[in-house]
């Protein structure tokens, strides 16, 4: 051993740990680190899946309610407009106008829901950050 290295041992130990003990400790630490990273990734993925389920359920229920309400309102509005304008023989024109308005409103709602769904992050950010830190630390430890 070079003279410039200090080899202080913990109090109560008489001999330094063997190479096998050191390697075993490193392997155990690495295994524990991997287990912790997997547990963190699993927890983050489950959180993101819960968000996705909630968004999908809200989207589906909202679409069903909007479609049913839209149909009822559409029929009511078309016949009201035809009656108010005295164009009962040209009801199809009002169906066209009201239908176009509902398609426009549906498109807006679709894009709002799409933007909410795209905000869901499927890559666990905290796990990715700690994995990068671990890789950097390992690179710094190896000559």
pLDDT at 1: 45
Tell me the average pLDDT of the chain.
Answer: 84
* DSSP code of residue 60: H
Residue 4, pLDDT score:
53
> Per the structure block, which two tokens stand in for 133?
């830190």
Residue 47 lies in a domain: yes
Residues contacting 120, CB < 8 A, separation 6+ = 48, 51, 52, 55
pLDDT at 49: 92
Element at 75 (helix H, strand E): helix 19-85
Task: Indicate whether 1 belongs to any domain.
Answer: no
Within-domain flag for 61? yes
Burial level of 91, CB count in 10 A (0-12/13-18/19+)? middle
| Residue 13 forms part of a structural domain | no
pLDDT, position 121: 77
Cα of 7 vs its chain's centroid, Å: 49
Q: What is the pLDDT of residue 7?
A: 58
Expressed as residue numbers, the domain containing 31 is: 19-136
Question: Is residue 84 a part of any domain in this protein?
Answer: yes
Kindly state whether residue 93 falls inside one of the protein's structural domains.
Answer: yes
pLDDT, block means (10 residues), the chain with 143 residues? 55 76 88 90 91 92 90 85 88 86 91 88 80 82 66
In a domain, 125, yes or no: yes
Per-residue model confidence (pLDDT) at position 10: 61
Domain count, the chain: 1
Structure confidence at residue 3 (pLDDT):
52
How many whole angstroms separate alpha carbon 11 and alpha carbon 28? 23
Q: Dump pLDDT digits (tens) for 122-137.
A: 777 888 888 888 888 8
Residue 6 inside a domain? The answer is no
């Amino acid at each position: 051993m070079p003279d410039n290295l200090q080899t202080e041992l913990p109090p109560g130990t008489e001999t330094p740990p063997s190479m096998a003990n050191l390697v075993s400790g490193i392997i155990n630490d690495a295994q524990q680190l991997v287990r912790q990273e997997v547990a963190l990734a699993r927890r983050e993925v489950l959180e993101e899946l819960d968000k996705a389920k909630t968004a999908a359920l809200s989207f589906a229920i909202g679409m069903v309610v909007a479609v049913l309400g839209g149909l009822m309102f559409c029929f009511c509005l078309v016949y009201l407009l035809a009656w108010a304008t005295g164009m009962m023989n040209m009801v199809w024109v009002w169906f066209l106008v009201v239908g176009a308005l509902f398609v426009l409103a549906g498109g807006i709602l679709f894009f709002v829901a799409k933007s909410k769904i795209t905000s869901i992050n499927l890559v666990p950010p905290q796990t990715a950050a700690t994995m990068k830190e671990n890789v950097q630390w390992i690179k710094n430890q190896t000559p």
